[in-house]
């Protein structure tokens, strides 16, 4: 969470007031309709889901992944095939996949509603990130940030808030 939340705040804060207004509208209307922040309410917040996934896509919180092949397999990309033998170590750099221009148009640009059609994940990090956005925009309408790069993740300083109207 120490890497995930600052990254999420960085991208949402940098996206500006237009996105903030859309998040406020979605979050507050669904919470009102559902009578509170519930799992059912979270599932109805498609923009919140997309924003979290897009922040993870553009800056994966866990970019390096390792594994040992349990059986012989073939991994394919757009232009190559790789044979991996049982027992060999597999290394993945998630940023290569999540920033591939053959898969994502303008991969270096944060597009809040890029992943609206993606299925909701059930893991804790995604759930906590969605909850953080919901609770934040129930209290504030918009905010601004200053961002700096750290060796692992981002340093984010919130420079202003506008309380919920």
> What's the predicted TM-score (pTM) here?
0.76
CA quadruple 68, 73, 76, 79: dihedral sign = positive
pLDDT score of 141: 96
Contact 146/10 with Cβ under 8 angstroms?
no
pLDDT score of 119: 45
Q: Residue 55: which residues within 8 A CB-CB, separation 6 or more?
A: 7, 8, 10, 11, 12, 110, 129
State how beta strands 81-84 and 154-163 pair: unpaired
pLDDT score of 147: 92
Distance from CA of residue 91 to its chain's centroid? 22
Number of helices followed by number of strands (H, E) in the chain: 6, 6
Mean pLDDT by 10 residues, the chain (165 residues): 88 95 97 95 95 91 88 88 93 85 89 72 74 94 92 88 93
């Amino acid at each position: 969470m120490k890497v995930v939340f600052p990254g999420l705040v960085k991208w949402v804060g940098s996206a500006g007031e237009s996105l903030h207004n859309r998040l406020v509208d979605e979050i507050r209307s669904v919470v009102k309709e559902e009578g509170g922040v519930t799992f059912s309410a979270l599932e109805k917040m498609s923009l919140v889901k997309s924003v979290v996934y897009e922040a993870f896509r553009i800056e994966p919180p866990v970019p390096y992944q390792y594994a040992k092949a349990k059986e012989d397999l073939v991994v394919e990309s757009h232009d190559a095939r790789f044979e991996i033998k049982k027992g060999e170590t597999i290394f993945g750099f998630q940023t290569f996949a999540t920033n591939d221009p053959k898969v994502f148009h303008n991969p270096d640009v944060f597009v809040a509603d890029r992943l609206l059609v993606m299925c909701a994940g059930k893991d804790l990090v995604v759930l906590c990130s969605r909850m953080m956005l919901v609770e934040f925009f129930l209290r504030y309408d918009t905010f601004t940030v200053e961002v700096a790069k750290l060796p692992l993740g981002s340093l984010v300083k919130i420079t202003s808030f506008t309380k919920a109207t």
